[in-house]
Amino acid sequence: MKILKSARAAWNRFFFEPQSPLNISAFRIIYGVLVCATLLLLHGDWLAWYGPHSWISAATMHVVEPGTRINLFSLLPATDSAIVAFFWIFLAAALCLTAGFCTRVSSIVVYLCLTSIDQRNLFILHGGDTFLRVAGFFLIFAPAGAALSVDRLIRIRRGKENPGELRPRLPWAQRMIQLELAFLYFASFWWKMKGGAWTQGSALYFIFHLDEFQRFPVPQILLHPAALRVGSWLALVVEFSLGTLIWITKFRYPLLVIGVFFHLSLEYALNVPLFQWDVLSAYILFVEPEDLQRFLKRVA
């Protein structure tokens, strides 16, 4: 009975103890920038991937991936101009979300549009797209416009909020995004453990010798089979730790630093655009609000 009581108390503390909305607001800004970046990188191929005469037609998509799905493209006229208009509206909503203007509405529009482009062409997605989509779903429910936003400035101007005070909010939606990030790492670790290449240490050798993934030159010493073997094992350790130990306060900051180094190394060496940044964006949710406030004050 006592265990149940303390488990319930821990659950309530984790999901429902009011917390400063600073972290989720800062995440909103980074998230918005990344959605904009995704759209702008796609810009030259909006019609090639999603248009009426795209690589994969909507009809084929429907056949190979059946089921009822949130997909605004099914409501749009099958014309180039309608598709281009959709993307400009999407981009405008992402800019509003970044600025924190009409935050709730813009977060809903961004989620609907993001899900729609993913559903319209499932064959060009990477993990970063998936993370943005899932995080975007929970962002809808978060108090993402409570700080660092145009919405807050408007509320202050109207006398509805005190400029010197940030009202704590329920963090459950933020926690879901944090859980998603931890789950991403843990599931990646689990998948890797299912194949011999990672446990034997040969996995990174294959990856670094796939021409399509090479970005900047990696020092030759790091491409030695022994170094790559150690690297493969380290990747397992890092992913397991970020998926589990990140919840233990004393390990959190060191793990976040290791995680940043891990992803920046991959960003340097491997050509998987935006994935590393998409994942790193959620690290800010693990920073203590007081520390984030101190950092922002220092920057300001």
Site for another protein in 82-101 (CB under 8 A): none
64 binds another protein (CB under 8 A): yes
Q: How far is the CB of 188 from another protein (least distance, A)?
A: 4
Pick from 15, 87, 101, 233: which binds another protein (CB under 8 A)? 15
Give the C-alpha separation, 256 to 242, whole Å.
8
277 binds another protein (CB under 8 A): no
Q: How far is the CB of 154 from another protein (least distance, A)?
A: 23
190 binds another protein (CB under 8 A): yes
17 binds another protein (CB under 8 A): yes
**Span of 27-35, 83-91, 124-132, 158-166 interacting with another protein by CB under 8 A:** 124-132
Q: How far is the CB of 108 from another protein (least distance, A)?
A: 13
Q: Are 111 and 118 within 8 A, CB to CB?
A: no
Nearer to another protein, 98 or 115 (CB): 115
Angle at which helices 172-193 and 22-42 pack, to 10 degrees?
60
49 binds another protein (CB under 8 A): yes
Q: What is the CA radius of gyration of the chain?
A: 21
Give the C-alpha separation, 291 to 51, whole Å.
46
Give the C-alpha separation, 132 to 134, whole Å.
6
**Span of 93-101, 150-158, 186-194, 255-263 interacting with another protein by CB under 8 A:** 186-194
Nearer to another protein, 55 or 295 (CB): 55
**Span of 79-87, 98-106, 108-116, 145-153 interacting with another protein by CB under 8 A:** 108-116
Give the C-alpha separation, 68 to 256, whole Å.
38
Q: Are 109 and 99 within 8 A, CB to CB?
A: no
252 binds another protein (CB under 8 A): yes
- Contact letters for another protein, residues 209-228 (x by CB under 8 A): xxxxxxx---------xx--
Please count the residues of this chain forming the interface with another protein, following the rule CB under 8 A: 86
Give the C-alpha separation, 67 to 39, whole Å.
26
118 binds another protein (CB under 8 A): yes
Whole-number Cα distances in Å, 237 to 194, 204, 230: 15, 14, 11
Pick from 89, 92, 163, 196: which binds another protein (CB under 8 A)? 196
Backbone angles phi, psi at 102, to 5 degrees: 50, 55
Pick from 52, 87, 108, 127: which binds another protein (CB under 8 A)? 127
254 binds another protein (CB under 8 A): no
Q: How far is the CB of 157 from another protein (least distance, A)?
A: 26
State the CB neighbour count (10 A cutoff) for residue 188: 18
Pick from 62, 92, 157, 191: which binds another protein (CB under 8 A)? 191
Q: Looking at the chain, list the stretches that DSSP marks H as alpha helix, in order from N- to C-terminal side.
A: 2-16, 22-42, 46-50, 58-64, 80-99, 103-120, 127-139, 150-157, 172-193, 196-200, 203-208, 225-244, 249-269, 275-280, 289-299
CA atoms within 13 A on the CB side of 288: 8
